[in-house]
A and B are shown apart, each in its own frame.
Chain A
Amino acid sequence: MLTSIKTNQFEGNKSKELAMMYFRVALILFGAQLLFGLIAAFQFIFPGFLFEVLDFSVARTVHINALVVWMLYAMIGSVYFLMPDETGVETVNIGLGKLAFWVLTAAVTVVVLVFLLIQVGSGTESSIWLINEGREYLEAPRWADIGIVVVVLIFYWNVFATFMKAKVKTGIMTVMVANLMALAGLYLAGMFFTDNISMDQYWWWWVIHLWVEATWEVFVGALAAYALIKLIGAKREIVEMWLWIEVLMLFGSGILGLGHHYFWIGTPEYWWEIGALFSALEPVPLVAMFVHVLYDWGKEQGAAHAKGEVGSVMKNGPAMAWIVLNAFGNFLGAGIWGFFHTLPQVNIYTHGTQFTAAHGHLAFFGAYATILVGMMYIGIQYAYGIKVMKATFKSKMGVFLIAFGVMGMTIALTIAGYEQVLIERAELGGGWNAFFTAQEMPWYIQAQLWRAIMGVVTFVGFIYLVWDMLTIGKAQASQLENAAVVA
């Protein structure tokens, strides 16, 4: 993948070349996310580990910000990748796109270095502007917020102008353009300071929830639609009809599902009913997406067999594996694990416990990490001009160990959360001592130990994934050449 950019095997498509640049940084940041996650996991077991050097808060800040940023990189990359196919025209301003890439990458580097080396500031406005905004997921200081907005505007202008030039406006691209505008605009809701913590969190959730439970999900729907056409030759008419149904259901449930974050932050009681009803509906489109992917796969395979073709219709084994995993993981992590604690009657005990962390891990992985990794494999296939890319042993180890590791972490955290809910919240009613009593229960400690072990498994899987991405293209491209020579 790294060499593919240097060897310039892109058949002249600059938009896809730019996409690969984004994918490359995304993969590095994915690694950083896992590494700092491991540090934080070890600190639960050995509290003295890196104490007052790289504290839990620092490790976790990098862990969750690397997550968000690698996903944004991979999302931008995916859009640059699919745009030439969906619009039939070349992306209007690649030069500006590249400039935005370098500006963003430089800014991300500075922000990470400041998080690691300066860590915290004094209680002044300038700390929030220069060091750390101190709001979970939106820790990036204000100067970086503004930089992100500028970069995103350049990106969006590129997408919008290219879309307008296209002769045929596909459904996938229409959804993409409308959804990206909402996604980018929502970021502005997180860019102000208030002394009122309730008001702070009200708007903070507009960014976090309306990203991950609305606009990001629609983004995934559009990506999956593109990938199905690309990977198994699914019919555009069917895929795009499903996409509109998904948009309807995702926004229909997800927008007002925001209410499930407004149960306990000072907001009125009516959010109990609104949040419960709409967030309980949120799994429905995720089930639909899962069914849709498997149905289309089976249908195309059946049609191919009926025509007398042999073998699989899949044009990219590893990408398809990750996309099927996405369909299932999204439903399981975001749908089931989200539904577990979305009703206020349950949430009053689970809110702010490891239950949330369990859901967070499986949902971010299942809904987003999977499909974005799938897009990277599609990118590699294209970069090396491979017609049918087959999964290698390394691709299989990557997908298996990562999925197994994340699922293991999720189960361990769910058990830890269960312990916490019953002991800290239900039995002892919260408070300093209730918290530590629960944290020191043997079963809780055991669960944290398993989480760390499964974190290591995930990391080993990641090493296989990177190894595979660095080698699969070259190996299969040279096999193709050899085959051509023999023929």
Chain B
Amino acid sequence: MANKNVSVWSSIPFWRRSAAWVTGFASILLVWLTFDSVGQITMGTDADIQKGVTKRVPAPTVINYKIGYKMSAKRGHEVPTIGEKELFFGKEWSPKEAAALLHLGKLTSQSKNCMDCHTLLGNGAYYAPDLTKAWIDPAWQNGGPLQGMTGKNTEEEAMAEFLQHPSQYSTHARMMPNLGITADEAKGLVAFLKHMSSIDTNGFPRNFSKTVETFKAGGSHAH
């Protein structure tokens, strides 16, 4: 390639330099976007929730509120809503308690390897239902078949009961195995699920609110 008359298109130094510049530019752009994204997905605070400031990932104290999933005409897809206060396992959780509970739940979700059967935010394995919006699944809410199956009166207690004794409640031939989840760990996991349902996932899973409407209209596929 020492010949100066050789076309630039067949010149190794040209392509090497171009590769370095393109890679460098793409990397810098990614790092810059990462600063912005990380800022936007950093957890909000309890004060944000109280003031009605919308955060993509709200504070752990979001477990003290009703969570909904409503179609936003402006954004063209469903977004999570934080409604009025509701008790969670019969109490209101202080910011410190809520953070500790979420911490326990997230640790448990990893140490029990939930992600190798379920998907979380759509990532994981495809053997069991996606858990992104499990908290707002009507099957678990008042009057829902899954809550009814456990004999509990609230959604959180029903979920916690199921998580501790999953193979006692066989809804389908494919069952969740008993993973030795304790009562405390189960509470943590439910807090983790409720918190996850409040994350703004740009409308994923689409039409999940349709599940709610179908259920309310009595047309659920639950048997």
Residue of B nearest to A133 (CB): B110
Q: Does A450 contact B (CB under 8 A)?
A: no
Q: Which residue of A lies closest to B134 (CB)?
A: A432
Interface residues of B in 145-178 (CB under 8 A from A): 146, 167, 171-175, 177-178
Q: B residues within 8 A CB of A55?
A: 117, 177
Chain A: minimal CB distance from B46 (Å): 15
Does A434 contact B221, Cβ atoms closer than 8 Å?
yes
B188 CB contacts on chain A under 8 angstroms: 123
From 411 to 460 in chain A, residues with beta carbon under 8 angstroms from any chain B beta carbon are: 420, 425-426, 428-437, 439-440
Contact B113 A134 (CB under 8 A): yes
Within 8 Å of chain A (Cβ to Cβ): is B104?
A: yes
B122 touches A352 (CB 8 A): yes
Residue from A136, A171, A432 in contact with B16 in the complex, judged by beta carbons closer than 8 Å: A171
B207 contacts chain A at the CB level, 8 A cutoff = yes
**With the chains together, A60 CA to B126 CA distance in Å?**
10
A248 and B22 contact, CB distance less than 8 A: yes
Interface string of B57-100 (1 = CB under 8 A from A): 10010000000000000000000000000000000000000010
**Nearest CB of chain A from residue B48's CB, rounded to whole Å:** 14
Interface bits A384-399 vs B (CB < 8 Å: 1, else 0): 0000000000000000
Chain A residues with Cβ below 8 Å from B120 are: 197, 201
> Is residue A244 contacting chain B, with contact meaning CB distance below 8 A?
yes
B40: nearest chain-A partner, CB-CB? A268
Contact with B along A349-362 (1 / 0, CB 8 A): 10111101100000
- Which residues from chain A contact B42 at a C-beta distance below 8 Å? 196, 199
Instruction: Indicate if the CB atoms of B201 and A124 lie closer than 8 Å.
Output: no
Which B residues are in CB contact (< 8 Å) with A162?
none
Would you call A12 an interface residue if the criterion is a C-beta within 8 Å of the partner chain's C-beta atoms?
no
Q: Which residues of B contact A124 (CB under 8 A)?
A: 107, 111
Residues of B close to A61: CB separation below 8 A: 113, 116
Q: Which of A321-351 contact B (CB under 8 A)?
A: 348-349, 351
**Which one, A44-52, A80-88, A290-298, is touching chain B?**
A44-52
Q: Mark A229-250, 1 if CB is under 8 A from B, else 0.
A: 0000000010011001101100
B205 within 8 A of A: yes
Residues A429 and B210 in contact in the complex (CB < 8 Å), given A120-B179, A197-B106: yes
Is the CB–CB distance between B26 and A265 below 8 Å? no
Map CB proximity to B onto A173-202 as digits: 1 under 8 Å, 0 otherwise.
000000000000000000001111111111
Within 8 A of B (CB), among A23-40: 40
A residues with CB within 8 A of B: 40, 43-44, 47-48, 51-52, 55-58, 60-61, 119-125, 127-128, 131-136, 139, 171, 193-202, 204, 237, 240-241, 244-245, 247-248, 251-252, 255-256, 258, 262-272, 274, 348-349, 351-354, 356-357, 420, 425-426, 428-437, 439-440
Query: Could you write out 5 A-B pairs with CB less than 8 Å apart?
Result: A56-B116, A123-B184, A201-B120, A237-B1, A268-B37
Residues in B lying within 8 Å of A, measured CB to CB = 1, 10-12, 15-16, 18-19, 22-23, 26-27, 29-30, 33-34, 36-38, 40-43, 56-57, 60, 99, 102-117, 119-130, 132-134, 137-140, 146, 167, 171-175, 177-180, 182, 184-185, 188, 192, 196, 199-211, 214, 220-222
